[in-house]
Amino acid sequence: MSFWWFWTQPPVVEEALDEDLPKIAEIQSSSFKHSWNVDELARMKAQDGVIMLVARRASPYGTRAPLGFVILRTAADEAEVITIAVHPRQRGRGIGKKLMEAGLFRLYAERCDHLFLEVDASNEAALLLYRGLGFKEVGKRKGYYSDSGGDGTALVMRIDLR
């Protein structure tokens, strides 16, 4: 019996649950030098205007643990990406793109006009993703990332949703 369909199903993106927070904290700490603990994530999740989405395997036979997550925050008619991360073993499979597309769809439905983010100028994979989704560079912040592989420059990017 073959289980090829088990590995080829695209992930499902849905609202993060409180029980997802330990796994989200694990993914976040494996992706960034500065990590957030479960309590910090819970406080963030409880804030008005915060949207926390997770990607999970689509198959009911696989784990329901998050493969990646995105945290967005809305204010009036604008929003920002607080952070996005995919588990290191799951990268390169389109999960980040799926998370961002779900976030964009959600923000569009909530009538946001623009979505902003900051990304390390040396993060080629992230830049490829964001530019592929239609984000445009609107500014730079020199020395923003102290633990950067490059010069620490953050690119400020925006996508117009309306």
Global pTM reads 0.90
Q: Which of 130, 137, 144, 145 is catalytic?
A: 130
Determine whether 130 is an active site residue. Answer: yes
Instruction: Give the residue extent of every domain in the chain.
Output: 8-112, 115-162
Q: Which of 26, 80, 110, 118 is catalytic?
A: 118
Q: Per mean pLDDT, which range of 1-5, 85-89, 113-117, 118-122 is the poorest?
A: 1-5
Query: Following CA atoms 21, 15, 128, 94 in sequence, which dihedral angle do they give, to the nearest 10 degrees?
Result: 90
For domain 8-112, which CATH number applies: 1.10.3210.10, 3.40.630.30, 3.90.25.10, 1.10.10.60? 3.40.630.30
Over 9-59, what HEC string results? CCCEEEECCHHHHHHHHHHHHHHCCCCCCHHHHHHHHHCCCEEEEEEECCC
Separation between Cα atoms, residue 75 and residue 58, nearest integer Å: 32
- The reported pLDDT for the residue numbered 132 is 97
- Does residue 62 have a pLDDT over 70? no
